[in-house]
Every structure is written in C-alpha cells, then in structure tokens.
Amino acid sequence: MDSLAAAPGTGPATNPLPVIRAGVKPRRFEDLPTGRTLVMGILNVTPDSFSDGGEHATTDAAIRAGLKMHYDGADIIDVGGESTRPDSERISEEEEQRRILPVVQALVKAGALISVDTMNASTAEKAIEAGAGIINDVSGVQLDPRMPELIARTKVPYILMHSRGSVRSQDPRADYGDVVEEVISELTTLRDRFYEAGVAPEQIILDPGLGFAKNAEHDWSLLRNIDRLTVLGHRVLIGASRKRFLGSLLTTAGKAAPPAERDNATLATSVLAASQGVWGVRVHDVAANADAVKVTAAWQG
C-alpha cells in the first residue's frame, strides 16, 4: 500500500479516487516473479463484457478496480476497452482508446504492469506509449496486419491467442477434427508471421483461447492436453475465468451456473494450470487466485 493515500475499493463508488503518489517505479515484464504461475487480473472497461459487463464502465470505477487488483496481488492487469461478446457491437479505435488510455496511465503510475487487450495495432501503439508492457490480442486469424511490425519494433511481449474469424462469428467455426492439433497448427502459423517481422521467440506468449470458436468439449480437450502447448517452448497463458464451459459443468436443474457463480471452478482450473507449468492465468477474482498459485508452487517445492 505504499503508493496510495487511501485503500482502493473500500468506499462507496462516489468516493474520490485514491491519490496515487508520484515516484512509484512501474513494474517491468523482466521484474515479474519466476517460480510460480502469474496472475493476470481482468479489467474490462466496457459496458457489455460477458462476465463483468458494466462493472467498470467509467474511468474512475475502472481505475479503482484496477488498483484493488494491484494490491490484491495481480502480477499483471489486463485492460480491455472492447467487449468480445458474440452479440456486442464493434467500437471505433478512438472510442476504445478513450476508454482505456487514462486507465492504463493511472495504473502504470501506481506501479502496475499493464497488458492491453486489443485487436487494433493503433490502440496497441498508443497503449505502449502510455506505459503498457504487454499486448494481448484475441484476433487470431483476423490479425491486424500492422501488429507484427509494431511488436517487432517496440519489442513488447505479445499474447497470441487462438480464435477463428471475427470474435462475433466464432460459434459456427467451432468445428475441429483434432482440436488440440488444429489450435497448435493455427497458432504456430500466426506465430511464424511475427518471426518473419523480426519478433523474438521469447516475446511470444501463447493462449489456446478457451471459448473462442470452441465448445465446452473443445475447451476441456485443450486443458487436458495443455502440455502439448507448453512443450512448444513459449510462455502459455490460460483464460478460463467464468467462461461458459464452467457454467455448463455446474448446471443445476437444467440451468447453467451464471458467470458470478463460476469463481470456485475457475480457482480449480488455476491450480491445475499452475501444476502443469502454465505461465499465467487470466482471472477476475485476483485475491483468491493469487493465493492458489502460491499454494501450488509451495506444494511443488
């Protein structure tokens, strides 16, 4: 709590923002802990994300929530301005930047390492200028052609997530012979485009993209075979938090558990991912997951 005048997230939403004192060193990617799985907190600055839509829709609410994640032990905070819900409207790059850039600046000033969840190279570039240290791109085969050059030039770590088609037309594309093999092959083809642009292998973080053009059985197959992804030699990130496949697993009386009731199941996926050598887990409930990855590391010695 050394950079704040008041504890974040403790008062009613109308309280003034905690004052962020100047002089806190921003955390760099190179400073991240090793020896345990990392926790990436999800901060969607959107009115309509599937699991936390509207919670952090204003700049102040988002900064407050991000500060709370930082002090709850998030290693990285993933800030996104555009919802990936299948029924969501695409927004302009200007609107995306208006939503996220002040949040990125404030959290960097507080000493957090920020990744930015964007499919737009121009937003990624502005976010890097604002202090973001990682770019998280869910666009898959719809890759912005300017992205590889930007990542090569800025040397920023890049999360390459698997998806098919536009994020709004994924479900019909959930059609695989061998989902694990096809996801790996599509990811490595995309990765090679980054190599061709001059991106270094250690900059690339791979993510199987749970729920993106995948049904529950595909998600479980990918988790069951996560070693086939980690063996490729890149850091691997998993985003299982509150996803549909957990909701359908927890069905009672024919009704899938709603997103808010999927946190315990998410925790179980984080423990299992950590025990499989996954580099990071992208989660909503930072405090619980931060404890869980520490327990897993201690258990494994």
| HSE-CB of 146 using CA atoms within 13 angstroms | 8
Q: Which of 263, 280, 271 is nearest to 51 (CA)?
A: 263
List the catalytic residue out of 243, 255, 262, 294.
243
Residues 6+ apart with CB under 8 A from 150: 121, 124, 125, 128
Q: Is 136 in the site for ligand PMM (CB under 6 A)?
A: yes
Binding to ligand PMM in span 152-171, by CB under 6 A: 159, 161
For residue 243, indicate whether it is catalytic.
yes
Q: Is 56 in the site for ligand PMM (CB under 6 A)?
A: no
What b/e sequence results for 33-71 when a residue is b if at least 16 CB atoms lie within 10 Å of its CB, and e otherwise? eeebbbbbbbbbbbeebbbbbebbbebbbbbbbbbbbbb
- In the chain, where do the E strands start and end? 38-44, 76-80, 114-117, 134-137, 158-161, 204-207, 235-238, 280-283
The DSSP symbol for 257 reads P
* Helices and strands of the chain, counted as H and E runs: 10, 8
Nearest distance from C-beta of residue 284 to ligand PMM, angstroms:
7
Nearest distance from C-beta of residue 300 to ligand PMM, angstroms:
24
Instruction: Indicate the residue among 108 and 161 with the shorter CB distance to ligand PMM.
Output: 161
Nearest distance from C-beta of residue 186 to ligand PMM, angstroms:
15
Q: Is 44 in the site for ligand PMM (CB under 6 A)?
A: yes
CA–CA gap between residue 187 and residue 230 (Å, rounded): 13
Nearest distance from C-beta of residue 296 to ligand PMM, angstroms:
20
CA–CA gap between residue 293 and residue 142 (Å, rounded): 33
For residue 214, indicate whether it is catalytic.
no
CA–CA gap between residue 278 and residue 206 (Å, rounded): 10
Q: Is 120 in the site for ligand PMM (CB under 6 A)?
A: no
Nearest distance from C-beta of residue 226 to ligand PMM, angstroms:
13
Contact letters for ligand PMM, residues 173-212 (x by CB under 6 A): ----------------------------------x-xx--
Q: Is 285 in the site for ligand PMM (CB under 6 A)?
A: no
Binding to ligand PMM in span 211-250, by CB under 6 A: 237, 239
Q: Is 50 in the site for ligand PMM (CB under 6 A)?
A: yes
Among 4, 38, 42, 107, binds ligand PMM (CB under 6 A): 42
Among 101, 110, 138, 150, binds ligand PMM (CB under 6 A): 138
- Which residues make up the interface to ligand PMM (CB under 6 A)? 42, 44, 49-51, 84, 117, 136, 138, 159, 161, 207, 209-210, 237, 239, 282
Active site residues: 243, 282
